[in-house]
Structure 1
Amino acid sequence: MSCGVDEAGRGPVIGPLVVAGVCGEESKIASLRVKDSKKLSPKRRERLAEEIKKVASKIVVIKIEPEEIDALREKMTLNEIEVELFARVISQLNGDKVYVDAADVNEDRFAEEIKKKLGKDVEIISEHKADSKYPMVSAASIIAKVERDRIINELKKELGEFGSGYPADERTKRFLEKYVKEHNELPPHTRHSWKSAKRAMKKKEQKKLGDF
């Protein structure tokens, strides 16, 4: 049985990191004409996610919250965290062949590190842009993105509009700075270990010093 694994939310300063795995018949998944989730509209992703759920033999979704990401970042790189999460998903999938979207610049090393964590022999095809090449990874990418989008929409009901949550997004930058200015702390669901979060706090401290 073939499987695909991918993530959503590696880079954002707000919200969880979601990793999804999808197993099933490649021909059935391919017939849905799935492709990289980033190239699809939110509505199209949601429709495809429902279709994937109908034909997939197994789907596993794991998410880790910003607090856990921050704790792990004290002792691990982001790539090492992804290796851990991918291995966790794969161990629950029980597939013979698993396609993964490589997070490491070295595709083979990413596969080998996952195998070490698994402790069992599984064929892992690790490639960059695997979500554009292999339908199983495209399907996993869609499932992960739809789940993360759902969570982000819930967070916006709680926190208000904060843009995409990515560090380069001006709306996200403004949101963080405004929140810190008003509350003297970072908003909930923020990754404190991200540079953009640290910058927002530093800016507040500098303004405080400037008051004297």
Structure 2
Amino acid sequence: CNMMTGCGIVEAGMGQVIGSMVLFGACFDEGQSASLRKIGVIDSKMLSPEERDFLFEKIIEACGGRYYAVIVSPSEIDEAVSRGELNLLEANKTAEIINFLNPDTAIIDCPDPKPDRYASKIRAMLKNKNLKILAEHKADFKYAEVGAASILAKVIRDREIEKISRKLGIDFGSGYPSDPRTAEFIQKHWNEKSLHGVIRRSWAPVRRREGEKGQMRLSEF
């Protein structure tokens, strides 16, 4: 098939304090963006979880199975944060997606303040050096391909969170620090050994607790 392909790549769950981050790439043929808009693909943040679920199968069908997901665990995120390399970790996983799908153009929702710098980090890790990279802020809003990938990524992220919630038998909300249920869960359970693979220890709410615990120890002297 000589049709040019564009691959939308995006993350979901970067800001969560609980659970994995999902990086997702989905490939579409040139000219498919109008039909994606027609089935209801808009910025995933503007859709309810039910609407995203409804669109999930339709988008999978539209990309003809040309998609690839990378799940990044809390411990992998913590390790990258400790080295100050969270963006590099994301660039690395993005390159893995591009190398697997090998589109003509990769359209990336960029987490780095400098998109050009981010694009060259990724290019250095690509097998196909002729590939075109567009790394932009708010790409999920501007490009239907990235908007579609974002919907798929968020559905997978939501399912991951549900799985953890069921396994623990606790409703801790969305996993984001701003969610009162999540905040309460962190306050109660942040230091439980069994949750070390579930809670991101490098995130501010957990670091604050560790700081408070350290202060309490000092006050015992």
Give me the TM-score of the superposition, normalised by structure 1.
Answer: 0.90
Match in the other structure for 2:49? 42
Between the aligned residues of both structures, percent identity stands at 42
Q: How does 1:52-201 map to 2 (within 5 A)?
A: 52-57=59-64, 58-119=66-127, 120-159=129-168, 160-180=170-190, 183=192, 188-201=197-210
Q: Distance between the aligned counterparts of 1:211 and 1:178, measured in 2?
A: 22
**Aligned-partner SS, 1:79:** helix
Counterpart-to-counterpart distance in 2, 1:184 and 1:8: 26
* Equivalent residue letter for 2:28: G
Give the Cα–Cα distance (whole angstroms) in 2 for the partners of residues 201 and 177 of structure 1: 11
Relative to structure 1, is the Cα distance of residues 112 and 188 closer, same or farther in structure 2, using a 3 angstrom cutoff? closer
**Counterpart AA for 2:25:** G
Report the secondary structure of 1:117's partner residue.
coil
- With 119-128 and 28-37 compared, the bigger mean Cα shift is at 28-37
CA RMSD of aligned residues (A): 2.1
Q: Distance in 2 between matches of 1:188 and 1:81?
A: 18
Gaps of 5+ in 1: none
CA deviation profile, 1:163-189 (whole Å, cap 9, x unmatched): 2222233322221111147x4785541
Q: Distance in 2 between matches of 1:153 and 1:207?
A: 35
Counterparts of 1:172 and 1:23, CA distance in 2: 34
1:98 maps to amino acid:
A
CA separation in 1, counterparts of 2:67 and 2:34?
16
- Which residue identity lines up with residue 62 of structure 1 in the other structure? V
Aligned residues: 211
Contact 1:14 1:189 survives alignment (8 Å): yes
